[in-house]
Amino acid sequence: MRNLFLLALLSVLAACGPRAPRDPAYFEFDQGSLPKPTVALTIPGLGPCTDSPDRTLRLDPSQPVNVLVHGCFGSSGEFRGLAQVFAFHGQQTACFTYDDRDGLTHSATDLRSALNLLSEQTHIQQITLIGHSQGALISRKSLTALPLTQPSQQTELRLVTISGPFDGIASAKTCGRSWLQALSLGLLPASCYIVTGAKWSDITYSSRFIREPGALLPEVSSYLKIDTDERGSCRREEDGRCVEDDDVFSLAEQHNPLVENDARTKRVEVLAGHVEIVGDKRVAPTKLIATLQQQGILRPTAPERLSTLSLLLTRIYLVDSLPDRKVTDRR
């Protein structure tokens, strides 16, 4: 019975994708059009968007900063490409790194503490928090009424979440059935923990984390919720056929009225795969770039720099063209 539980729950980990070994290229970063940094900070959990062991954060406090939060099995280096796109447009970034097996509230609390320190030490006027997948859940939770001091009121907070399973992960549904937990004599919770870690009790449809997401702080001026329609998407092809799909979370898993009914929330739906939307070594996040530009998060690309941006994307993501930028906007 234990083996059956484990086999059923392995699909939760499969949704995250395999953890890739560190790529030395992820240690490097093209500064693009970034302003010259004037401060060097050491903040637990925050650092440059690379996998370099040097986690010193170098910023210009007079300019806004975008804080990127990876999903499970992710790393700061995996957002290196997107951070370089921001740098190309003169926008600085930082990346938050966490243990993806910790409870989500624990990770959200650590993130909130890092944001508070960033605000206190720099007095930056605007922080935009951008989280993908599990990082979306953590990012939103970090900007609710956690038992921590509030960020400085001098700092405007903006929130962007991408492909977040705000209604719980369907493949973890078994873990959320309390009657089955009792029937299994403790075997089910133990199996769930083995597969996903302490977060297992947060990611199910019945968890308090999902059912009581909490209200956003007053300091949050806007919330852009990007949901991805991942049906029919493919992560990897061989000989013209899909050998690994990119359909991880359904729109139903991403939809939660308790999260979306805040007046500051704008929901945008994009036809894209789960990894495709943020990019990887095989595909550039062109749909995300277009969406962030349309919604005022990423600065527009000057027409005379479009070809240079295309070359940058080619170098980072091994692509050679920008696809159609059309997205569907839904409130």
Q: Which residues make beta-bridge pairs with 156?
A: 126
Ranges of each domain in the chain: 2-329
User: What pLDDT is recorded for position 200?
Assistant: 67
The DSSP element (H or E) to which 320 belongs, if any, is: none
User: What pLDDT is recorded for position 211?
Assistant: 93
For the question of whether the overall pTM of this predicted structure is more than 0.75, the answer is yes
User: Hey, what amino acid is at 11?
Assistant: S
Tens digits of residue pLDDT in 166-221? 999 887 666 645 534 444 444 555 566 566 666 767 888 888 999 999 999 999 99
Distances (CA, A) of 122 to 92, 127, 143, 220: 14, 11, 19, 18
Tens digits of residue pLDDT in 131-143? 999 999 999 999 9
HEC readout, 83-147: HHHHHHCCCEEEEECCCCCCCHHHHHHHHHHHHHHHHHHHCCCEEEEEEECHHHHHHHHHCECCC
User: What pLDDT is recorded for position 289?
Assistant: 97
Taken as a whole, the chain contains a residue count of 331
Burial zone of 101 (CB within 10 Å; 0-12 exposed, 13-18 middle, 19+ buried): middle
DSSP 16-57: H---PPPPGGGG----TTPPPP-EEE-BTTEE-SS--S---E
User: What pLDDT is recorded for position 321?
Assistant: 37
Specify whether the CB–CB gap between 288 and 279 falls below 8 A.
yes
Q: Which residues lie below 8 Å from residue 78, measured CB to CB, with a gap of 6+?
A: 26, 70, 280
The CATH code of domain 2-329 reads 3.40.50.1820
User: What pLDDT is recorded for position 78?
Assistant: 81
Q: Which residues in the chain show pLDDT less than 70?
A: 1-28, 73-74, 149-153, 172-198, 200, 319-331
User: What pLDDT is recorded for position 174?
Assistant: 60
The alpha helices in 173-285, defined as continuous H runs, are 178-183, 187-196, 208-211, 251-254, 257-260
User: What pLDDT is recorded for position 73?
Assistant: 65
45: alpha, beta or left? (left if phi > 0; alpha if psi -120 to 50)? left
Q: Residue 295, Cβ neighbours under 10 Å: how many?
A: 16
User: What pLDDT is recorded for position 9?
Assistant: 46
CA 94 to chain centre: 13
User: Hey, what amino acid is at 147?
Assistant: P
